[in-house]
Amino acid sequence: MIRCPECSAEIDVDEDEVEEGEILSCPECESELEVSQTHPVHLNLISEEGDDDDDDDDDDEDEEAEKADLIDEDEEEEEVEEEDEE
């Protein structure tokens, strides 16, 4: 008997016919599961949330780059103001 690592629901699969790397879907929670080992069968959750985290990291980098650009612009404005005062 194979169980979903996310919700522990029983997954109806013939353990002798699954192959390593095969993608299964849980009928209860609809999680995608990868067969990482056969005999005994072991399933790994394919995390969609992990993909979202990568996107968030990119957003953070973009925000940091924008802040750096703003700082550079502020410094340039200060230099121009100093030159005008002279």
- At residue 52, the pLDDT reads 47
pLDDT tens, residue order, the chain (86 aa): 789 999 999 998 888 899 999 999 999 999 999 999 998 999 999 976 554 444 444 555 666 656 555 555 555 555 555 555 55
For the chain, the residue count is: 86
Virtual torsion, Cα 50, 53, 58, 59, nearest 10 deg: 150
